[in-house]
Each structure stands twice: as C-alpha cells, then as structure tokens.
Amino acid sequence: MLREVLYGAAGFVLFAYTLEWLFSMFDDPREPKRLQSKIPLFGHLLGMIKYSSGYHGITSKQTDQEIYTVAIFNTKLYVAKTARLIPLIQRSKTLSFRPFMQTAAKHMGDANPATFEVFGSEWVDSFSHAHKHSLAPGPNLDEQNLRMGDRALIDIEELLPREKNSVRKVFLLKWARYAVVQASACGILGVEHPFRDPKIDEAFWKWQDYMPLHLINLDITGKGYAAREIVFDAFRKYNKNIPLDVSAVYMARLRTMQEAGIDEDDICKQQATFGTAAFANTVPIMFWTIYELFSRPDLLDEVRREVTEQTVSGNKETGFVVDVAALKTKCPLLLSVYQETQRTRHIHANIRKVTEDTLLDDKYLLKAGQFVMMPGQPVHTNQTTWGESADVFDPYRFMPKDESDKKAVASSSFVAWGAPPHLCPARQFASTEIMIVVALLSVRCDMAPASGQWAKSPALNTGDMATVYTPKKDIELEDPIVPKMRDMSLSESTESTQNGITSSVEKIIPSKTGLLSESESEPWQRAIEKVVRCVVSVKFSHPYAFDTEISKTSEATGFIVDAERGLVLTNRHVVGPGPFSGYIVFNNQEEVEVHPIYRDPIHDFGFLKFDPKAVKYMELTAMELRPDLAKVGTEIKVIGNDSGENQWSAADGHGRPVFAINGQTPGPLITATEGEEVEVFVNNQLATETTMHWHGVYQVDRPWNDGVPGVTQYSIQPRDNYTYRFTVQQQYGSYFYHGHFGPAFADGQRGPIWIEPAAWRPRPYQAISSLPQDLKGMKRAEANPRHIVISDWNAEPMDILLIMYRDTGIVPWCSNSIVMNGKVCEPTKGELEVVAAADGEEWIWINFIHSGAHHELQISIDEHEFYVVAADGEFVHPQKVHAANCNLGERISILVQLDKSPGDYAIRLTSLRTEQIIQGLGILRYPFETNNKEITKVPTTKPWVHLNGSLVSTSLTSMDEMKLAPFPARPPPPTSDETVKLFINMTGPSAWSLGLGSHQAFRQQLPPLLWQENSRGSTTLGDQNKLRNGSVVDIIFENGANVTTQHPFHKHNHKAWIIGTGHDGFPWATVQEAIDAGAADYFNLKDPPIRDGCRLGNATGDWTVIRYEITFPAASMLHCHMIHHFGAGQQIVLLEGVEAMAQIPEGVKQKVHADFVPNLRYGPLD
C-alpha cells in the first residue's frame, strides 16, 4: 500500500512538473523571468492563499530581478519590486485598473449583469472622478472630518475609566475596529448611520473575514454571504431615508450611479461595498500607529509635546481648539511616525491588467490578458531607496532633513495609498481620522498591555484582505488606562443634561476660518506668496497683419524666469511675428517696458525682456522651472493677474469702453471634464465692483460661489480679488460665465465654458446617421467644438441706457450690432467671425451661447441644414432644421455636415424682435484654406431666412424648442411636493414685479441673504419648512402685462423640465388640479425639454410651468434675462434646501465690503 502511495505521489509530482514545463514553453524570452516555486504548479497559489499580498514580499527576496513572473497555472503575475519601474507602469495606457472595479462590483458587491457591464465601461473613469473630487481637500472634506472628529472624541472616552477603581477589559484592535467604523460612518453617512446597530457592525466584520473567499466564489458555508446580506439590508433601509448630514462623497456616488442607469438595489449594495475599503484598511493602520507610538515611551513624550505645542490653543475658560490642518503641517514627528508605520506595515499590491501586448522600459514584454503587480512590501523595503535600515522602523525617517542630509525620495517609492492615477480617493479622510485619534490619545492617555510589555513582533493574520495585516491575537490593555493631562480639555466643554444626569460633552472646534483644509494650509500659502512675485501681467499691442491703421490691444500673463537678465516667459501669440509695443505690470503695480527677444516657431512659448534696473520698489525673484517634478495626481493652483479690466474697443466700428477679461471680450474659454474641480482667480481691476456668475453650472457643494452679489457673496471691490472654486458634477456641454454686478455682462464681461461629456455618456448620433464614417466624424467634431458667444451690442454702455429707461420709461430696444465673439461687419474694417474647418473634418460642432441683453436670435447657415444636438449643455433628440432660435441666456449646440462645395458660407444671426430689423454675420469656411485672408467680406451665398427672421419658404423647418426631448430619456417626476405661482406684471413705466413685488432696491449692495436673514425680503421665497432638500417643485409663471416680447427666464442651479404652456390664464391651484380638471393636454410629463431657463409668452394670460427637483441646497436667483426687465425688478431668490445648507466659510462672510443703509429713492433700478 505504501508503495502505491509513493508511486502515486511521485507520479503526481512528475505530472505537476511536466504541466508547469508545458506552460513555460509558451513564454516569450522577452517576458520577465519566471520565479520557480518549491511546490510545482501549485506552490504560488498556496502562497497567495496563505499570505495574500504579503506573499510578494517573500518572493521578492528570492530573486535579484527588478521584475519577475509568478505563474499560477496559465495566469501570469508580473511583479515589479523596484520603484524605478512604477512610474513607467503608471503612465502606460495599456495597463488598466478598470477590470478590478468590475470584479469587485460582481464578487464583493453582488452586482447584477447590467451593473457588471456598467462597471466594465468607460463610465468607471467618471465615477472615479466624482468619487475623488468629492473627497478632495476643501469644504466637503472639512465638514466630513468635523463629524468624524466629534465622534472620535466619544470613542476615545471608551478607553478612559468610567469610574474610579473600575475593572473592565479593553482590547486595542477591537476598540480600533469600533472607533473607525463609528467615526468613519459618522463622517460619511451622517450621525444616524446604520452601524450604530451592533448587529450591523458585527455582520460587517464577518463579511470582511469571508471577503477573500468571495473573490474566488468559495464561501461554501454561505456564512459570509449571509453576513453581507445583513449589511445590504441596512443600506437599503438607509437609502430610503438618507439623512441631511450625509457626506458629499456618498451623494456623488449615488448620483453618478443613478445617471448610469444602475438600479436602486444594486446602488445600495455597491454603496455598502465601498465601505469595506474605507473601514477595513483604516483599522490596521490606526492600530499599528498606536502600537508603534505607545510601545516607545520616549517617542511618545516627544509626540505629546509636539501636539500640545502646535495643534492646541485656547484655555479652560474659553475652551481649547484642535487645529486639524496643523496636525499635518506643524507636527512633523507625528506625521513621520504615521508614514513610517505605513511604509513598514503596508503589504498590499497595486494591480493592473495588461489590455494589449506592452513593452515596458523597452525590454520587458507584458502579454495581453495577464497582470502587473506593484507590491508595497518589496518597494518599501528596497535598500537602494531607503538605505541599509530599510527593514527597521525609524520614526524620524520622514522628518524634514537639513540641507546637508537631504535626499529626495521619489513618490513612486511610497505606494501606501495606491499608484497614480488610481490613488485611494479617501486617503485624505482616512489620514485625518488616524492623525486626530492618535494625537488625542497621545495627549489624553497612557496605555500599556495587561501583560506589562508590548510584544516586539506579534504574530500576524496573513489572511487579511486589507492593505495591512492585523495581529493574530488582540492586545489586551491594562485597566484602568491612565488619563493624561485630564485637567486640560482639548475643546470647548459644554454641559448637557439627559434624564437628570449632567455630563461633559466635548467637540472639535474649527478655527476662525473653519476647519483648515490642506488646500489652504501653510505650505500652499507659502508657495503662493513665493511665486506671486514672479507673475506679471503683460499689456501689449500688435498691428494687424498687412494693415497700418488698426492695431490690436490685449494682455496676458508672464513669468519671470531670469531676474538678473530680465527674462519673462509667456505665450507664443503674445510675442507675435511682427512689431510689438508693450509693458509688464508687477505684483506691486510697477510698470516696465518690455520687448520681444524670441518666439518659438512650433511650441507655445516666447520670451520678453525688460531692464531689471527699471524696477525701483520691488525685489525681483525668478521662478524656477522644474517640469521634472510634475506628476499625475499633483494638486495645482493657477495664478494670473488682471482678470477684470475696463478697456476700449471699436470692434463694430463704434469706439466705446468695454469690460474685458484677461484683456479680451469674450473672455478666454474655460474647459473642464466632468468631475473636475475648477478654480478661477478673479482680480478686479475695474473702477467699480464686480462678481462672476457661472451660468447654468451647479454649485453643488459651495453655494457661496454662484457669483450673485447680495445673494451668495459680497461684490468684489475694486483692486480686490476672489477665488471661485466649484466641481462640475452631473453636468456637461456648453455654459458660460459673466459678470452679475449691474449689467456688466452686456458690456463685454462674459466668456464660454465647455465641460467635456464623459466617455460613458450615450450620444444621440445614431439618430442622425448609422454610417461608421459619419459617427466617427461627429465624435471627432464633438472633441473639437467651436464656441460662438452671440449678443446684441450697443454704442453706449448699458448703464447709460438703463438710467435713460429708469428716468423716462423708454425701453432701449434698438441695438447697433449683432456680434459673434465680439466681431461684426460694418462699413468700416470690422472683422467677421470665421469658423474654419480643419483638413479632414467632415462635421463641425458649434456652440452658440447667447449672452445678450435684448434680442432673441435666429441661427442659420446659408445652404446648410444642421442638427440641433444639445440645448443648455445637455444632449437632446436631434432635430434637423434650417434655422434654430436662441433666446437670452440659452445655449444651442449644432452639428453641421460639411458636404457642400468648398468655400465660404454666411452664418446669420437674425433678430426675431418686431421693433428692429437687424442681422449679424459670420463665415463658415471649408476646407481650411491658409491662403484665404478675407475676413471682412460677407459671402454671397443663398440664405434660408428673411431679414425679419422668418423662413424664405414654407418647405423649410425651424427648431421647435418644446420638442427638444432629453437624450437619453429623462422624464420628470410624475407629481410635485410644492407649487409656487408667480404673477408677472408691470407696476410702473420702469418697474416690473415677479411674484409679490419688485426685487429690493440696492439688492447688490446688501449683505448676502445666503447667511444674512435680515436681507431677505418679500421676493425671497423658501425657508426651513418650504422648498426642502429632496422635494419636487412646480413654478407657474403667468403674464399679467400685454407687452411686445417674451420673458426669457433663467434659473440658477437646478435645471427644470418645461412641462406645460398655455394661454388665457392658469385658473388652477396646482398642475395636478389642472390635470384632474381635464386639462392634461396642456402638459407633457413624458419627454419635456430640460433647461436652465424657460420663456413666457408676451400676451396677458400666457403661462408656463416648470418642474424641478431640489437635489442640493442653494440660494438660487430666478430672473428674466432681458436686461431692462431684470434691472427693473423681475427677479426673485429661491432658498432651496436651506435646512441642509453647509456652513458658510468665515473667509467668504468676512470679505471686504461697503456697509451702508440704502436710500430708497427711485426703485429697483437703483
């Protein structure tokens, strides 16, 4: 019998060796060398099962190769163990992280087949963007940290003795698990989170224990699946009634998954799954940081001293303040201990799938379908990077070094938070949580194991799925844990009474300007203060080519790169190919002449030179150019000068002052991708106040950045500045920015915004053509859109016209010109806007952005039909038309097929007003002809429209704005929760009302009503009990004045469905009442257009109904975009979801402003 067993075993081993040899026969010699295991075929598999990701730390010591292959049957893991290769892996587009999101969604989150497909699509990139940006340093993260910190204080109390001489058992790992889950859940899910129930908490950790088996479908007993279902059920209940204090990241994930069409049950399951990483990975890092610190008494004393000196302020009487930002900026030793803990304990392997054969570093072939591993342990213990002490815990390793001992460590050598561009999005939140808890424990407690000594090398639980192993045996702490410095409160202490028992409650108190975010911490301030002296504003003039009479005046930004020789780096177009006249303005407003010395013929840069001796009052410094330091994932700030300035323009042949942005009107294009954060520094160089409004852009997280003076912010004073920050969420397409103080937008203070649609979004192009060449051409056109800001233009500044209107009641209907991007054809030498196709373009995408004051315009292109594919930014079911109307504040996006004879065709903007016949002109030119210099001559092509905007033939078609159905379908909610009825009327020759009365006089100079309730008057609607967050609102507009024009209304923030229009009054109280009364034909609840505005007919009794859902808190202005109606009082403010409003930063509330009591003389136009 023994002989048979031995023969069988030998045969099996021989078979295993043979099979492994056969697999290796297919290896390419350029592939990384195989690492043979001691047990053939199965050895690496058994090692992975036993040690998880830590197995790569073991195998890396068995070879001197910098990358090697671990083969498990016919699957290959290419393991890179040196920091040198990691940046090459990160930059490769053929090594993808996306498949693992899909795997996690299916095996961990029990995704259904449809959800599984979504997680395998390009949508994952947009999801990651939304996740990452909602957790970026800023107000959202600060609010989340504040809730988490408050809860952490309660958790720390669990470690302290409750009464004298009490006896109880406290286990460190068990407490860390409890503390992390409770504090993290408070921060992410709000105070009323599911994990308050101990059964949910217990089920979560059981699910975590079975996670490795779930990934390979081997939970035979089903216990792990049962525990997971308990957690899923908890999230199903939570999602039915999401609390108001839920975090931005949770809502960002929710909205992004809803928009992708993931069903609600799968959304609940995926939300629960994301918590596994947030909780499970934070616990062991916190545990080991506490262990490493408290097991070294001398180190603990140093950290304790550092924390109490640098992060705590105040006294017993006023309360103490914990400065959370200072934990990372002023406590280098604590931070070093935390980072060194991650370095020595981190074992997780970042992984990528090879999507196509890739030659790494020009010598290592990685085969498609296989995997690349970047394990933390061998990288973090590499002696070439970390020195001979790489295997030793050195708490001072990450401390700032003296210049003599400074050695930069590449970022790729420290991969505790993943590998760019897939860094852990929650790393800021988790780091802050761990730092707060460890800092407070160091100050509040002395702790020691019950055994009397800290074990130097506790046995590890190598089966963990987390990034760091936990100990096999928990550490029981000595009881009682000695409170340290008990006479000092770390925060303000207040007394609360419950059931007759008085207790002391502690909270983390934010500093004066709110909880400091890392983006506003001292390193950033020092960096900005250092470089701002190197930034200059370049003001210059160029003569137009081949012209001796007209010159172009503009401005740009430059950077001093050599202070001794006076060299300024700027853009290529600034230097120009011809004569140049200009000067630069320094940060202290000194002006010095410059002249060009170099213009690169290919790349976008040039150099100007100035005399350094001419600078009298400022010490010159140069900006060091270090492109080698730029890497993916680095936060950046953009600095420039003179964002708003008064200049002179004669673009249409009439000289007049204009409000320029960066020296031009319209201002520069702002381009972003979905999920990106936009930061704009506005420096007011005007002699009057200003603000900047982001027309149509949601201010989801920072309602104070909507740019409306007196509503969301104080106006920016002359020579002052303001930094707008917002994240573009759940939006894409064409928008624009413009001044919102007075009528500045009508005088040139405006510019386009383009938010690139995410790749996962469905496009409507199949409805236009199914030909592959056409589809490819349309996608190419979308990727290279042209933006045309259109408007009416007057020879006089709009302030003068409005004063005339106020004093006489005469409406300033007539304009001098209709302009495209500030250009128009007049009998002088004015340019026309030219839309030129590039070689090979078969389709062209044009965004028409109406930023005008009076005229609704009809868009047409001679001899070309076109497709309307988007309205107010969002895709619609395409309409093929000869002309499309665009009203004030609207954006219409069109696709034009370039299928006519090559040449120039007139683009026409024809006014639809009856008071004035006027037309603006431009040129569509294709194919691109470099020798065609004509930019003032109107093409002699055949128009589709008459001069009054009507079509030349009844066989032609124009756009129907009420049939611009969203693509894909987005029906409105079937019913509403609230109804607001607004009656529009003319209350005087130059006064209008929207609702109860005209908007308050001097509205723009009053303290912003976002936080100042005394500024809210009769035209401010909504409070804690009305227009609540999550509610559906109907607004009914009814016209009470018989006028000659429609009212083009614009609503800030939430877009709305235009569900109905009609005539002869709206006698019903609500839409539902109207439908019940038999008026259902007036309404479209199936596929109405969704816009950020609507129009109301001009006759008495005309009505329009819009419906929208309040999905985030805001103070949203609703107003007519016709300038004299707006200025005369046709504006209100909707306080939407204010019960869920975030705390307004003190820096916003304390901006420089003028305090005065308004003199109510004339009316709203004042």
Give pLDDT tens digits for 823-836: 875 545 567 889 99
Same domain? For 838 and 888 the reply is yes
Same domain? For 944 and 985 the reply is no
Same domain? For 1004 and 863 the reply is no
Q: Which residue has the higher pLDDT, 602 or 123?
A: 123
End position of a domain, from candidates 626, 647, 668: 626
Q: Which of 352-361, 362-371, 552-561, 823-832 has the lowest mean pLDDT?
A: 823-832
Instruction: Choose among 790, 793, 817: nearest CA to 734.
Output: 790
pLDDT of residue 1055: 96
pLDDT tens digits, one per residue of 508-543: 333 322 233 333 445 555 666 677 778 888 887 766
Task: Look up the domain containing 1049 and give its range.
Answer: 978-1149
Mind giving me the DSSP string for 819-863?
EETTB---SSSPPPEEEEPPTT--EEEEEEEE--SS--EEEEETT
The contacts of residue 706 (CB under 8 Å, 6+ apart) are: 693, 694, 699, 712, 713, 1052, 1053, 1114, 1115, 1116, 1117
pLDDT of residue 156: 66
Q: Is pLDDT of 789 > 60?
A: yes
Mean pLDDT of the chain: 80
pLDDT class of 956 with cuts at 50, 70, 90: very high
Same domain? For 959 and 1002 the reply is no
Q: Is pLDDT of 411 > 50?
A: no
Same domain? For 1036 and 1140 the reply is yes
User: Which H/E stretch holds residue 426?
Assistant: none
Q: DSSP assignment, residue 106?
A: I
Indicate whether 104 belongs to any domain. Answer: no
Indicate whether 353 belongs to any domain. Answer: yes
Per-residue pLDDT, averaged over 83-105, amounts to 77
pLDDT tens digits, one per residue of 724-766: 999 898 899 999 999 998 888 888 899 999 999 988 899 999 9
pLDDT of residue 226: 94
Tokens at residue 547, please?
A: 């012209």
pLDDT of residue 1113: 92
pLDDT of residue 1089: 97
- Looking at the whole model, is its pTM more than 0.75? no
Distances from the Cα of 186 to the Cα of 160, 245, 858, angstroms? 21, 9, 53
Per-residue pLDDT, averaged over 333-358, amounts to 83
Q: In angstroms, rounded to a whole number, what is the distance separating the alpha carbons of residues 866 and 894?
A: 6
Per-residue pLDDT, averaged over 1115-1140, amounts to 90
State in Å, rounded, how far the first CA of the chain is from the last one: 107
Q: In angstroms, rounded to a whole number, what is the distance separating the alpha carbons of residues 243 and 708?
A: 29
Indicate whether 288 belongs to any domain. Answer: no
Q: Is pLDDT of 1160 > 50?
A: no
pLDDT class of 977 with cuts at 50, 70, 90: very high
Same domain? For 878 and 993 the reply is no
Which CATH number is 569's domain given? Answer: 2.40.10.10
Per-residue pLDDT, averaged over 891-901, amounts to 95
Same domain? For 820 and 869 the reply is yes
Q: SS in 3 state form for 470-519?
A: EECCCCEECCCCEECCCCCCCCCEEEEEECCEEEEEECCCCCCCCCCCHH
Domain count, the chain: 4
pLDDT of residue 371: 84
Q: Is pLDDT of 137 > 90?
A: no
Per-residue pLDDT, averaged over 1069-1088, amounts to 94
Indicate whether 79 belongs to any domain. Answer: yes
Q: SS in 3 state form for 738-775?
A: EECCCCHHHHCCEEEEEEECCCCCCCCHHHCCCCHHHH
Tokens at residue 253, please?
A: 């994930």
Per-residue pLDDT, averaged over 786-806, amounts to 87
Per-residue pLDDT, averaged over 780-786, amounts to 94
Q: Is pLDDT of 1154 > 70?
A: yes
Indicate whether 735 belongs to any domain. Answer: no
End position of a domain, from candidates 604, 626, 648: 626
Q: Which residue has the higher pLDDT, 578 or 111?
A: 111
pLDDT of residue 515: 31
Mind giving me the DSSP string for 370-424?
-EEEEEHHHHHT-HHHH-TTTTS--TTTTSPPPGGG-----GGG--TT--TTS--
Cβ contact 275:194 at 8 Å: no
Tokens at residue 926, please?
A: 């294709």
Indicate whether 498 belongs to any domain. Answer: no
pLDDT of residue 275: 67
Same domain? For 1047 and 1143 the reply is yes
Query: Tokens 């996690």 belong to which residue?
Result: 104
Q: Which residue has the higher pLDDT, 1105 or 100?
A: 1105
Distances from the Cα of 639 to the Cα of 109, 533, 534, 824, 1152, angstroms? 43, 11, 10, 33, 21
Mind giving me the DSSP string for 884-916?
EEE-TT-EEEEEEE--S-SEEEEEEEEE--SS-
Phi, then psi, of 622 in degrees rounded to 5: -110, 150
503 burial level (CB within 10 Å; 0-12, 13-18, 19+): exposed
Give the side-chain half-sphere CA count within 13 A for 431: 28
**CA torsion, ordered 40, 45, 46, 51, to nearest 10 deg:** 130
Distances from the Cα of 313 to the Cα of 432, 490, 516, angstroms? 19, 8, 14
Q: Is pLDDT of 366 > 60?
A: yes
Q: Is pLDDT of 658 > 90?
A: no
Same domain? For 28 and 93 the reply is yes
pLDDT tens digits, one per residue of 600-648: 877 778 999 999 999 887 788 898 887 777 654 455 555 554 444 555 5
Q: In angstroms, rounded to a whole number, what is the distance separating the alpha carbons of residues 52 and 73?
A: 17
Instruction: Residue 213: count other Cβ atoms within 10 Å of its Cβ.
Output: 18
Same domain? For 946 and 1036 the reply is no
Indicate whether 391 belongs to any domain. Answer: no
pLDDT of residue 277: 65
Q: Which of 319-333, 568-582, 663-677, 1002-1016 has the lowest mean pLDDT?
A: 319-333
Q: In what order do the strands lie in the sheet with 978-988?
A: 991-994, 978-988, 1032-1039, 1103-1109, 1056-1062, 1090-1091
pLDDT class of 497 with cuts at 50, 70, 90: very low
Which CATH number is 18's domain given? Answer: 3.30.43.20
Query: Tokens 């006014």 belong to which residue?
Result: 911
Cβ contact 424:417 at 8 Å: yes
The contacts of residue 1000 (CB under 8 Å, 6+ apart) are: 1006, 1017, 1019, 1164
- 124-129-132 Cα angle (round to 5): 120
Same domain? For 933 and 993 the reply is no
Pairing state between β 919-926 and 692-695: unpaired
pLDDT of residue 643: 43
Q: DSSP assignment, residue 261?
A: T
Q: In angstroms, rounded to a whole number, what is the distance separating the alpha carbons of residues 484 and 440?
A: 10
Instruction: Choose among 379, 389, 105: nearest CA to 262.
Output: 105
pLDDT class of 878 with cuts at 50, 70, 90: very high
Q: In angstroms, rounded to a whole number, what is the distance separating the alpha carbons of residues 845 and 832?
A: 19
Q: pLDDT above 70 covers what percent of the chain?
A: 77
pLDDT class of 1008 with cuts at 50, 70, 90: very high
Q: In angstroms, rounded to a whole number, what is the distance separating the alpha carbons of residues 1112 and 544?
A: 49
Cβ contact 998:1163 at 8 Å: yes
Q: Is 154 left (phi over 0), alpha (psi -120 to 50) or beta?
A: alpha
Which CATH number is 1058's domain given? Answer: 2.60.40.420
pLDDT of residue 314: 53
Indicate whether 847 belongs to any domain. Answer: yes
pLDDT tens digits, one per residue of 224-278: 899 999 999 999 999 988 887 888 888 888 888 888 889 999 999 998 887 666 6
Same domain? For 1129 and 1000 the reply is yes
Q: In angstroms, rounded to a whole number, what is the distance separating the alpha carbons of residues 293 and 287?
A: 10
Phi, then psi, of 58 in degrees rounded to 5: -75, -50
Q: Which of 144-148, 342-346, 1053-1057 has the lowest mean pLDDT?
A: 144-148
pLDDT of residue 915: 86
pLDDT of residue 1095: 93
pLDDT of residue 168: 59
Q: Which residue has the higher pLDDT, 905 or 386?
A: 905
903 burial level (CB within 10 Å; 0-12, 13-18, 19+): middle
Distances from the Cα of 969 to the Cα of 259, 754, 784, 964, 1089, angstroms? 11, 23, 26, 11, 10
Q: In angstroms, rounded to a whole number, what is the distance separating the alpha carbons of residues 251 and 189?
A: 10
Q: Is pLDDT of 471 > 60?
A: yes
Instruction: Residue 945: count other Cβ atoms within 10 Å of its Cβ.
Output: 22
User: Which H/E stretch holds residue 38?
Assistant: none
What's at 354, amino acid-wise? Answer: V
pLDDT of residue 51: 65
**CA torsion, ordered 692, 698, 703, 709, to nearest 10 deg:** 30
Tokens at residue 1033, please?
A: 């609102």
